[in-house]
Amino acid sequence: MSTKHLFLSTALLGAFAGSAYAQSNTTGAVQGAVTDSKTGEKLPGVTVIATSPSLAQAQTAITDENGLYKITDLPPGDYLITFYYADITLERGGVNVGVNRTTPVFQKLNQAQAGGEVVKITDTAPTIDPTSTTQGITIDKNYIKNIPVPGRTFESTLGAAAGSQGDGLGVSFSGSSSLENQYYVDGVNTTGLTYGTVGSPVINDFIEEIEVITGGYNAEFGRATGGVVNVVTKSGSNEFKGSVFAYFQPGVLTAAAETTPNNASSIDANGNLAYYADFGFELGGPIIKDKLWFFVGFAPQVSKVDITRTTKRQSDCRKLEASGELSTCNPALQGAGGNADGVPDVDPKTGFYITDTLDEEIRSRKARAFSLLSKINFAATPENQGQLALQLQPGQSESPGIYGPASSGFKASGLTSDISMKWTSKFNDNKTEVEAVVGWHRERITDDPYDPSLATKPLQVLYDGSLGVWGPGFMAETQKTIDGCRDLPPGMSDPYPLLTNNCPMDTVPYVIGGPGSISNDTQQRRAAKLSVTQRLKAGGSHEIKAGVDVEDNISDKTRLYSGGAFIQNYVGSDLIRVNRWVRLLGKKGSPADLNNTDPHFDNRCSTADTSGGGTGMGGNIEYVCDYTTGTLGDPGTRVTGNTFNWSIYLRDSWQIQPNLTLNAGVRYEEQRMRYADFLQDRVDPLTQERLGTNAMTMTGMLAPRVGLLYDWTKEGRSKIYAHWGRFYESIPMNINDRSFGGEVNFQQDFVPSQCGPADTRIGVNSRNGEGCVDNPSLVGADERLIGASGVLVAPGIKPQYMDEIIGGFEYEILDDLKIGVAYKNRRMGRVIEDVSTDNADTYIIANPGEWSSDEEEKLMDRIDRTDDPMEKTRLTRQLNLYKGIRIFDKPQRNYNSLEFTLTRRFSKKLYVQGSYTYSKTDGNYPGLISYDNGQVDPNISSQYDLIELLANRVGPLPQDRPHYIKLDGYYTFDLKKAGQITVGTRLRALSGVPVNALAGHYLYGSNESFLLPRGQIGRTDFEHSLDLRLIYARNLGKNMQLEFFVDLHNIYNRQGTAGVDDNFAPQYKLSAPNSTSGTEQNANPVSGGTYQDLIWVKTIDGRGNETATPIGKNPNFRNTTGRYAPLNANFGMRLNF
Amino acid sequence: MTIVAGCTDYDSATNLHPDGPPKVQQVRMKETYQIDGTADTSSRRVFGFGTHPNAIEVEQHPVTSATLVGNSFRIIMDELLVGNHLEEIACRSNVDGDAYSKVPVGATPDDIARCATAQDVLPSTCKGAMAVCMCENDAGCSVGTTMIEKGLPVGVDDKNQDGAADDTRLIAGAVSVKCGPIDVPIDLNMSYWNPSGNQQPPAMGGFEALGPAIVLVPQNGLPNNLDCQIAFAETVVDKQNIRVCAPASGDPEDDCTPGDTAQVKFKSEPMKFQSVSFAEGATGISRTDPVVFVANTNIDPMATSGVTITGPGTTPFTAFTATITMNKIITIAPTGAGFDPNTMYTVTLATSIKDTFGQPLPTAMVVHFTTGA
């Protein structure tokens, strides 16, 4: 079929000729060459026009003297490319353009073709971008629509990229932690400010396309050592388009989650989704055709998770038969023919205590949120266009306490706001483009107590006791549980009268009191970007882009515990530990103390003086301090922080030949982290260091990037490439709050009798820790300041970076089907972490393992020059501290991978996207998340704090999964008038994670000490799952389609192990039944040890002293603590128009 | 296919040195030393063998006067030893004459946990080559009121039911201190093997927390004035089954022959007495007050026979009683009217006085005093 071609007016040509913008972070491009199909002659002057429903106005280019053209600034979508040459017209449809990608469209024209007819080319454009070394995946709205992704916001799709995996806080890429990613929505940085998590979770229905960059990114991108996620939301165009949608996941269609029982404790908790639902609409269209367009979307979401809380009792009614099997239960005393012997029954096969279920209770976590997106696009002229977007995400949730009274839970509310403005202008015959973006990202979070009457109560955690006491004591358990746990003499209602504690709580604590830490935080980022792109010809064609961006990040956070304290009550060990936030004034008797007029500083805080080399003989140092209250607004309860980032970059994409491209660029970044307002221009009471405005300034972040690509098919159907780049980390703002915000925690260990009369709710002779909180003049048996000596920043500290090498090829082996192989190496070059070289007295933010000799000389000069003996002493001490940094192991993380990818883009009703990644991630530095102990304190984690914590850290890192297979696809069956059925699948198969053996450290708490080298205990099982989506679609009219869909996730209900208990030795040894013998037990690592060695490890007591006592064991060690979600189904509908 | 990270270097300051024979890296012990510029003595813990980069000069040298009482030895190894040959674990009852059992090489904490279960379950869980605390008495072993037959498990002593042994004990003779001909008795309960630690002093404990280490605590102190050595039984080996040795230089970088620990040596301080009643040549001493001498070690109960007093002049003075209290204090109390007034006496503690190991006082102590009116 042919149609008469349309006349192309000179005016129209003039308007669009030479359109040549660089693709920005929200658009892509089409490029190629036009040649004569018979002679191969390059054809200049061919008019190439791109049109698409995604594009408000057609974009045009004219081929140059080499027959080359490029059309940029194309929003993602499917395009029709039309070539006009003399009176020949060729149309090539189905050209897919992705964000930040260049789609090659090489076209041959037959000049002998009869004029005046339109020739439609059915051949599809290749999917390989021959100009980019970027690794990753583009997820378009069809993928989101047809693949059963495991969530409703964009994060749920990111796992499709080869080399990606979930890490609990997000999706990590290529061996990095997820907190090393950067997230952009419509070109604006929406990365969470405190930790670097996802800041604005956009609901999938509002998304046009997601670009997931897992490596090889060019100089436009920075501040990331993980991946870059670029979300482009839908925009309005000249056609009204939209949808109404609803999505529902009922709990009744979810298989029961397998339990992960806690051995030696009497409460198990198991979460099951009760329901999740969202519904809403999205609509885009013109306000003024060709001038002004709108898009708006709104979607409320509600969810409820039922936590089934099972209480259980140990049994004493079985004996081992001669057959080796356990007998049936006979609770009569042995003398009376029964099996009761006073020792709890244990299953010899599993080692678990055999328990009776007492009762089940459901406590529910509820959440609701709203997603609102509105956007205006406008075109003052075709060369000058703008966009204004607003996204709001308010939400509330409530979480009752689980291991304790429900009242110990909390309620939270939050509001995330994003406002962005973007403007693009073209000059110089469209060879020059300027783009400006201004954005504001704001996150607000507040916490409230679950039970308002407990707002002023401290949170108290009870360890190693009995539910038989705590249950009736706090009346937070059901009557069945209370009755079942009752320890009674023989002849009464206790079925196991010889057991002295029917319901132990050895391995799980019981939480009572108020909500604990209270948030009332606001964080915001004000950002601006300006870029200029110039295309020119010199030895080929160049696309040169230069840009600058600034980010002003502000945090305003609370620092307070409800009731002014957090209490750890070690009931089984006769110890009560009270933790408070404090403000320090100075040493007792210091000038700061003597001249003080602030009445708040009426408390004392003492800590061990470890300056004597950690011998414990140094005695204590006493400071004048203020116990911060639990009332928001009181002195010391608010901390403000500020980080200022800026960067410039320059890059050139030099197409030396149409099939040979050299990408080279360089990026320069700086980051300035400032002290909290109240600390600036003040002398630190601990370090005696005068604090200025900037706490730490990262300069010299020069990040070169270079890549080379060659397309041996010369048609954009192949590329062989290599890339090298350096990437710098952007330090999240948690460090402002913790290290540069004057955070000091005062920990007091009390003998329970100091805390007032016995509280029989906790134990016959036990005390309530509130008694010690209420008396601020009490002196603890042991006291310490944590984070006490202020924080020094090592002079000459250098920024954290990673180097990356990528090499590989892609080849389109069949139409629409490409394969790729890529080798990737990522290696941390330098890391920023806090270390202590004086036994936890002073913390230094430094590059572990290195301190420059230049800085050493400078400091020595300073020491020589000063005449003040006190200053000389202070500086000499600092010199010794800094020199100690060199002893620390250099953090290392090496990621090596081979990625095999296969992509069959959607055509002939079939889409397939698959990958197999073989990788190794090892070293001693997991990244910005300490997966091992759950700590999330980027750059100031505990993992490098003390030299003894470094041992055994080298090995397979928590994100090491050697084998990872991903296969996504969908197929559409056309039922003609009856509609369409689409079947989508998502397969994941992956290696397990390394298992460790951890113990406590006397200063740092649980799971800080790697008893054995990483991964020594083995690896969790290989896991796999398959998800399925069925969609039925029926056209209701020309532009209306109704869809129903059903998702089945984990269809064979394999609830594999997601995590195991790595804690070999709990920090408090279990007490013997009916005693309080559970003493604190810590242990240092067994360097290079094996599991057998752990039999002989000796305990370190609460003061850090080695004893002759062997370390105890966690009965729950290596047991499963988390499982993958069970089989679940959800369904929904969508009306597209 | 295996991917190897190129140029990976995982040297850590906390690594041990598992290659080659296990070497004694350092030995920490207490020495008695004379305080500079005074006649007074004090004691301190030093590296008596080997050294450490962080140690200052006075903290590292061969010890020639190891403190006799209250001393303990921290023997720091450069690699892990097989703990099963150094320690044994506590059982619920006597298994072979006492209530401690050796642990088979290769046993893991899981094997211990399997033998720490409830008594009735034990036969099912605690069996096989890695079972521990098996009754070896022909007459059986009694646990509470239950009699366990020979060959069956009595169970690991695990009162808190956490699956780990509540107690361990050094195996007699595994590591010993020999002073001259004397095998110094070791307090096996206070002595231990701890595989934790490395050459980086942790936040608390300093050099006393370097590891991995064997801690030896003499039960009754050391014999005086003898050359001593620390000896390892043949069974004490590393995981390659190589015996312990100590380089002659004390530098663990140097080689040594497995089994040769002769370089780990020291000398115990000589037995000495200090007069706490008066200084040498004191005058105006009370005629009736006792004269007290304190030894630096425990002394033989027969030591009183080595005490003689003369005065005036060489006239023997016998009107006194000499008693020993607290193992190391000799109290000489005059009887009757006491010492004569204004008379100079000479007290001699002869070399026949011995410590509890039978080692004599190296040098007789002679002191003089003059009574008052």
Q: How far is CA A647 from CA A26, A186, A704, B230, B236, in A?
A: 20, 19, 13, 64, 62
Which class for A637: exposed (0-12), middle (13-18), buried (19 or more C-beta within 10 A)? buried
Q: How far is CA A768 from CA A462, A562, B160, in A?
A: 10, 16, 24
Asked if the C-beta of B121 comes within 8 angstroms of chain A's C-beta atoms, the answer is: yes
CA A24 to chain CA centroid, Å, is: 25
Q: What is the DSSP letter of B68?
A: S
Number of domains in chain A: 2
Q: Sorting pLDDT into bands at 50, 70 and 90, what band is A240? A: very high
Pair A69, A62: CB distance under 8 Å = yes
Q: Which two tokens stand for residue A588?
A: 């007792």
CA distance A536 to chain B (A): 40
- SS3 category, A445: strand
Average the pLDDT over A1006-1034 and give the result.
94
Query: Does residue A729 belong to any structural domain of this protein?
Result: no
Pair A473, A437: CB distance under 8 Å = no
Query: Does residue A506 belong to any structural domain of this protein?
Result: no
Q: Which of A153-162, A344-353, A421-430 has the highest mean pLDDT?
A: A153-162
- Edge-to-edge strand order for the sheet containing B265-267? B182-184, B175-179, B227-232, B265-267
What fold does the segment set B273-371 form as a domain?
A: Immunoglobulin-like (2.60.40)
DSSP assignment of B156-184? B--TT-SSS-S-EEEPTTSEEEEETTEEE
Question: Where in chain B are the domains?
Answer: 24-82+171-267, 92-164, 273-371
Q: CB within 8 A of A399, min separation 6: which ones?
A: A365, A409, A410, A411, A412, A450
Q: What's the pLDDT score for residue A29?
A: 84
Q: What's the pLDDT score for residue A625?
A: 93
CA distance A1115 to chain B (A): 5
Residue A482 backbone dihedrals phi, psi, to 5 degrees: -60, -45
Integer Cα distance of B192 and B67 in angstroms: 20
Quick check: A237 pLDDT over 50? yes
Q: What's the pLDDT score for residue A787?
A: 66
Express each pLDDT in B164-183 by its tens digit.
999 999 999 999 999 999 99
Q: What is the DSSP letter of A161?
A: S
Express each pLDDT in B321-357 by its tens digit.
999 998 889 999 999 888 999 999 999 999 999 999 9
Residue A908: count other Cβ atoms within 10 Å of its Cβ.
10
Express each pLDDT in A968-991 by its tens digit.
999 999 998 899 999 999 999 999
Q: Which amino acid is at A974?
A: D
Express each pLDDT in A592-624 by its tens digit.
899 999 999 999 999 877 655 444 455 788 999
Q: Which two tokens stand for residue B101?
A: 């059992």
Pair A135, A104: CB distance under 8 Å = no
Integer Cα distance of A511 and A408 in angstroms: 7
Express each pLDDT in A73-111 by its tens digit.
788 888 888 888 877 888 888 888 877 778 888 888 887
Question: Which of B200, B204, B216, B236 best tests the A interface by mutation, with the highest count of A CBs <10 A?
Answer: B204
Express each pLDDT in A657-706 by its tens digit.
888 999 999 999 999 999 998 888 888 877 777 888 999 999 999 999 99
Quick check: A279 pLDDT over 50? yes
Quick check: B1 pLDDT over 80? no
Residue B323: count other Cβ atoms within 10 Å of its Cβ.
12
3 state SS for B19-52: CCCCEEEEEEEEEEEECCCCCCEEEEEEEEECCC
Q: How far is CA B18 from CA A1008, A1018, B80, B212, in A?
A: 24, 21, 7, 12
DSSP assignment of A172-211? EETTS-GGG-EEEETTEE---SSS---S---BGGGEEEEE
Express each pLDDT in A176-226 by its tens digit.
999 999 999 998 999 999 999 999 999 999 999 999 999 998 899 999 999
Sort out which chain B residues have CB atoms less than 8 A from A616's CB and list them: 204-205
Boundary residue ending a domain (A82, A110, A125) = A125
Q: CB within 8 A of A826, min separation 6: which ones?
A: A174, A175, A176, A215, A802, A803, A804, A893, A894, A895
ipTM, 2 decimals? 0.94
Q: What's the pLDDT score for residue A92?
A: 84
Average the pLDDT over A242-248 and give the result.
96
Q: What's the pLDDT score for residue B4?
A: 34
Question: By percentage, how much of chain A surpasses pLDDT 90?
Answer: 64
Integer Cα distance of B274 and A949 in angstroms: 47
Q: What's the pLDDT score for residue A25?
A: 66
Q: Which amino acid is at A981?
A: I
Integer Cα distance of B36 and B21 in angstroms: 40
Q: How far is CA A518 from CA A411, A448, A454, A555, A880, in A?
A: 10, 7, 12, 16, 39
Range of weakest confidence among A43-52, A353-362, A558-567, A763-772: A43-52
Integer Cα distance of A609 and A622 in angstroms: 9
Q: What's the pLDDT score for residue A122?
A: 66
Query: Does residue A752 belong to any structural domain of this protein?
Result: yes
Integer Cα distance of B169 and B216 in angstroms: 11
Quick check: A1016 pLDDT over 50? yes
Q: What's the pLDDT score for residue A495?
A: 92
Express each pLDDT in A1079-1106 by its tens digit.
789 999 999 999 999 999 999 987 788 9
Q: Which two tokens stand for residue B259?
A: 């089994």
State the greatest distance between any 2 C-alpha atoms of chain A, in Å, as a whole number. 109
Indicate the residue of B113, B163, B204 with minimum beta-carbon distance to A1002: B204
Integer Cα distance of A719 and A102 in angstroms: 13
Q: Sorting pLDDT into bands at 50, 70 and 90, what band is B2? A: very low
- Edge-to-edge strand order for the sheet containing B291-295? B273-275, B291-295, B329-334, B320-325
Residue of chain A whose alpha carbon sits nearest to that of B18: A1088
Q: Which two tokens stand for residue A467?
A: 């539910």
Residues 230-249 of B with CB under 8 A from A: 239
Express each pLDDT in B12-69 by its tens digit.
889 999 999 999 999 999 999 998 888 888 999 999 999 999 898 889 999 999 999 9
Which of B8, B12, B21 shows the shortest CA–CA distance to B254? B21
Residue of chain B whose alpha carbon sits nearest to that of A1084: B196
Residue of chain A whose alpha carbon sits nearest to that of B14: A951
Query: Does residue A576 belong to any structural domain of this protein?
Result: yes
Residue A335: count other Cβ atoms within 10 Å of its Cβ.
7
Integer Cα distance of B79 and A1006 in angstroms: 26
A233 - beta bridge partners? A207
Q: What's the pLDDT score for residue B5?
A: 35
- What pTM did the predictor assign? 0.88
Integer Cα distance of A905 and A96 in angstroms: 9
Domain around A611: 560-636+745-786
Residue A13 backbone dihedrals phi, psi, to 5 degrees: -60, -45
Q: Sorting pLDDT into bands at 50, 70 and 90, what band is A24? A: low
Q: Which two tokens stand for residue A61?
A: 């280019």
A1108 - beta bridge partners? none
Query: Does residue A254 belong to any structural domain of this protein?
Result: no
Express each pLDDT in A555-587 by its tens digit.
999 999 999 999 999 998 889 999 999 998 888
Interface contact flag, B10 A892, Cβ < 8 Å? yes
Size of interface A-B (CB pairs under 8 A): 238
Boundary residue ending a domain (A125, A160, A182) = A125
Q: CB within 8 A of A858, min separation 6: which ones?
A: A795
Express each pLDDT in A828-877 by its tens digit.
999 999 998 887 778 899 999 999 999 999 999 999 999 999 899 889 98
Q: Sorting pLDDT into bands at 50, 70 and 90, what band is A278? A: very high
- Computed on alpha carbons and rounded to an integer, the radius of gyration of chain A in Å comes to 32
Sort out which chain A residues have CB atoms less than 8 A from B195's CB and list them: 1086, 1089, 1093, 1096-1097
Integer Cα distance of A793 and A816 in angstroms: 54
CA distance B234 to chain A (A): 20
Average the pLDDT over A121-147 and give the result.
84
Query: Does residue A588 belong to any structural domain of this protein?
Result: yes
Query: Does residue A64 belong to any structural domain of this protein?
Result: yes
Q: What's the pLDDT score for residue A1074?
A: 61
A96 - beta bridge partners? A78
Pair A67, A106: CB distance under 8 Å = no
Q: Sorting pLDDT into bands at 50, 70 and 90, what band is A1076? A: low
Asked if the C-beta of B312 comes within 8 angstroms of chain A's C-beta atoms, the answer is: no
b (16+ CB within 10 A) / e for A47-56: bbbbbbebbb
Mean pLDDT over each residue of chain A, to the nearest integer: 89
Average the pLDDT over A508-513 and give the result.
93
Query: Does residue A619 belong to any structural domain of this protein?
Result: yes
Integer Cα distance of A99 and A129 in angstroms: 11
Bond from prior residue into B212 cis (ω within 30 degrees of 0) = yes
Sort out which chain A residues have CB atoms less than 8 A from B214's CB and list them: none
Q: Sorting pLDDT into bands at 50, 70 and 90, what band is A1075? A: low
b (16+ CB within 10 A) / e for B277-314: bbeeeeeebeeeebbbbbbbbbbbeebbebbbbbbeee
Q: Which two tokens stand for residue A917?
A: 């990644």
Quick check: A711 pLDDT over 60? yes
